[in-house]
A and B are shown apart, each in its own frame.
Chain A
């Protein structure tokens, strides 16, 4: 038993940060190439699930508590609704908004980049909490 765990832990130390960087890359490049909030959030959630399976529940619970994740989810949903309502009104009454920018840069396309990031955090947190409830059979 001890020998199998050593191989998994040493490989996990190298692979899990690479998976997280790949997930963040898919989220941030939502308006330039294929990707977006939902697929990037799924990749980010799978990295958290692998960390739970390899290192045990106590290690993940020490760094990422469940109450913080539930606060992230609620704040993300309210933030998405408020930003979308503001962007509806900002076209009629000429309110300030982020630039539509030179086409092809990362900081362009108005509100799309920020909405993608918020969706990514929401989807990743929801999938990890559902998995953690299924595997320990209590909240």
Chain B
């Protein structure tokens, strides 16, 4: 059980994923579902970027050229997740645009009332 208090970044990331998933499924308001999806995305980024840390080494910005190139952390996971963050922003923007169109047509943003209105017509 010590591994959960030693690797606290990975444990915290998975608990955040669970919180985001529960937010996505429990509420019936559309905006809260979109917030839950965004929390799940952030948890995945935290899990992946924390794989690149090495103890007692510093950030990969070269201040002194004559330094040993073994004294920096792993730069590859940070460079790969920059693309993912931009894709998450685009997905959230698209979901919010669809919510605005739904509100203009049905005049409510409660998902269960929208499903009832669709069953009547």
- Direct contact between the two chains A and B in their complex (CB within 8 A): yes
- Contacting pair A103 B65 (CB below 8 A): yes
Closest to B97 in A: A134
Q: Does B115 contact A (CB under 8 A)?
A: no
- Contacting pair B61 A34 (CB below 8 A): yes
Footprint of A on B, CB under 8 Å? Answer: 61, 65, 82, 86, 93, 96-97, 100, 104
- Contacting pair A134 B100 (CB below 8 A): yes
Which A residues lie within 8 Å of B65 (CB)?
A: 103
Closest to A36 in B: B82
Q: Does A33 contact B (CB under 8 A)?
A: yes
How far, in whole Å, are A134 and B104 apart by their CA atoms in the complex?
13
How far, in whole Å, are A137 and B99 apart by their CA atoms in the complex?
12
4 closest residue pairs by CB, A with B: A130-B93, A33-B61, A34-B61, A103-B65
Q: Does A38 contact B (CB under 8 A)?
A: yes
B83 to chain A, nearest CB (A): 10
A27 to chain B, nearest CB (A): 15
Closest to B96 in A: A134
- Contacting pair B100 A137 (CB below 8 A): yes
Within 8 A of B (CB), among A106-139: 130, 133-134, 137
How far, in whole Å, are A137 and B96 apart by their CA atoms in the complex?
12
- Contacting pair A38 B86 (CB below 8 A): yes
Which A residues lie within 8 Å of B61 (CB)?
A: 33-34
Which A residues lie within 8 Å of B86 (CB)?
A: 38
B38 to chain A, nearest CB (A): 16
If the complex has contacts A33-B61, A103-B65, are A38 and B97 also in contact, measured as CB distance less than 8 A?
A: no
Starting from the known contacts A33-B61, A103-B65, A133-B97, 9 additional A-B residue pairs (CB-CB under 8 Å) come to A34-B61, A38-B82, A38-B86, A130-B93, A134-B96, A134-B97, A134-B100, A137-B100, A137-B104
Which A residues lie within 8 Å of B104 (CB)?
A: 137
12 A-B pairs whose Cβ atoms sit less than 8 Å apart in the complex: A33-B61, A34-B61, A38-B82, A38-B86, A103-B65, A130-B93, A133-B97, A134-B96, A134-B97, A134-B100, A137-B100, A137-B104
How far, in whole Å, are A38 and B104 apart by their CA atoms in the complex?
33
